[in-house]
Amino acid sequence: MLTAVPVPAVLRVTPGVATGALLLAPLAALPLGAVVGAILWGGAQTTVPALAVAVVALGVLALGTRALHLDGLSDVADGLTASYDRERSLAVMKSGTAGPAGVVAIVLVLGAQAAALATFVGDVRSAVVAGAAVCASRAALWITCATGVPPARPDGLGSTFTGRVPGWWTLLGWAGLAAAATLVHPWRGPLAVGLAALVVILLVGRAVRRFGGVTGDVYGAAIELALLTLLVALAGAWT
């Protein structure tokens, strides 16, 4: 669900399996974070423009997830702009096609991510921070799937994973990320984590009001927006 890295098939997703997958989401993204960091560091050793290196890194990241999260971002944007009718919005999100709002959302988010990520093309520390941001962005699932957040549909990905993360884990997990971010910068690090959490909370609140709950598409949109927030807020924080 989180990467294209092949693993043994899980034939039955029990509540325990679903919860474990969500809690370990940032760790599951470690291979992707490592690849992104390697590309940024390697690109810094060449004369390739930093923005071009960042675009390549984001392209590889998209391949590493089969663009699943970007698809969610597109569908959520289309659903929010298609209609104020809940069922109509959910139908648009489930159709699988990208409308104008979805395309614009992807262009803007990827463009902003690339611009911010270009500032991480440099030394090893910069690359490590960028890779860590990729992993940390997956903690968005600790909010979208927290206890008390309802699924928008009785079927689909949302019904399987929504509400599986204990509230105490969500709070302690994000607090732990904020504490770890002090290693990047004593105040900008925790601020970046706090802003990312706030963005995800606002998205979840909007989804609950408009769709009646969250879906798998909301998961993907939350991850992409969390990554964007972290990259922008942390850009150049250690210079």
What are the structural domain ranges in the chain? 15-234
Give me the helices (H) in the chain, please: 15-23, 25-28, 30-44, 50-64, 68-82, 86-94, 100-117, 124-137, 141-144, 156-161, 167-181, 188-211, 216-234
Q: Name the stretches of the chain with pLDDT < 50.
A: none
Find all residues with CB under 8 Å of 87, minimum gap 6, and list them. none
Q: How is residue 146 annotated by DSSP?
A: B
Report the Cα–Cα distance between both ends of the chain, in Å, rounded. 36
Q: Specify the residue for token string 């984590």.
A: 193
Considering the entire predicted model, what is its pTM?
Answer: 0.95
CA 150/CA 207 separation, integer angstroms: 10
Structure confidence at residue 130 (pLDDT): 97
Structure confidence at residue 182 (pLDDT): 95
CA 60/CA 76 separation, integer angstroms: 23
Structure confidence at residue 11 (pLDDT): 75
Structure confidence at residue 99 (pLDDT): 85
